[in-house]
Amino acid sequence: MDVIGDLVARDRRSDDLAVRTDSRAGSYSYEKCCTNAWKTGNILRHYGVRGGATVAVDPGDSLTPPPLLALLGAGLLGATTRFDPGESPSAKALVVPAARADAYDPDPGTKTFVYGDVPDDPEFAHFEAEMWSENPTAPPDRVDPADTALAAGDREFTHERLLSASEGIVDEYGLAADDEVAVRAPLADPGTVVAGVLAPVAAGATVLVDRESTGTVAVASGDAAENAPEPAVVDPADVL
């Protein structure tokens, strides 16, 4: 795999679980994950996101699939995802939970997508509604492994570096299809993105976003790492 889009290539579709939430209805098979990542890429593309653009994402207090789809969709376009948007993000698109939509003052020209509840402001797009109505095919954009895929603070990470690091996690922890990787650290830490999202998807394992359930591996630090119920723990600080 050379770019993030390869994680959701057509031949990766299956009935295996890619993302597990607290309900089967809200969980994603690899079939659903790939298709919805393509749709998300097409939504963002429709609103002007291209290679080199930034997609700012607020992953919320309780992680759900939309922020992960934003990462994958932006990756399909060669855009950069930022999970630490700040109050006034400079981005082509902003993806935020409905409860926090009014907390942001983005630059003019930024399209705000709200996920969860339907937005009150007609200027905001409802992420889920837009996604379901989109074309379920992969965007045609060409992405280079040397393109920036993720930014955090003043650091930038290319597709190549992120996937190389994720392969290291897969090898070190022996991740396989029957593993569930519990995300117990913020996505604002790029190590969490690598170990908690990219690595399990690369391995065909499951990203566990239901923090009340127990996986086989946790991505956590500090007290969360000490209290994690999983038998193995990855510290995001050690990943990149």
| Amino acid making up residue 194 | V
Is a pLDDT exceeding 90 seen at residue 137? yes
Q: What share of the chain is helix, strand, coil (3-state, %, to 5)?
A: 35, 20, 45
pLDDT digits (tens, 9 = 90+) for 165-218: 999 999 999 999 999 999 999 999 999 999 999 999 999 999 999 989 999 999
Specify the pLDDT at position 150: 98
How far is residue 211 from each of residues 52, 63, 207, measured CA to CA in Å? 33, 9, 11
Q: Give the model's pLDDT for residue 119.
A: 87
Burial of 102 (0-12, 13-18, 19+ CB in 10 A): middle
Predicted pLDDT at 196? 98
Domains and CATH numbers, the chain: 4-238 (3.40.50.12780)
Summarised one tens digit per residue, pLDDT across range 9-60 is: 999 999 999 999 998 778 999 999 999 999 999 999 999 999 999 999 999 9
CA dihedral 50, 76, 61, 175 (to 10 degrees): -160
Strand-pairing partners, residue 113, are 95, 125
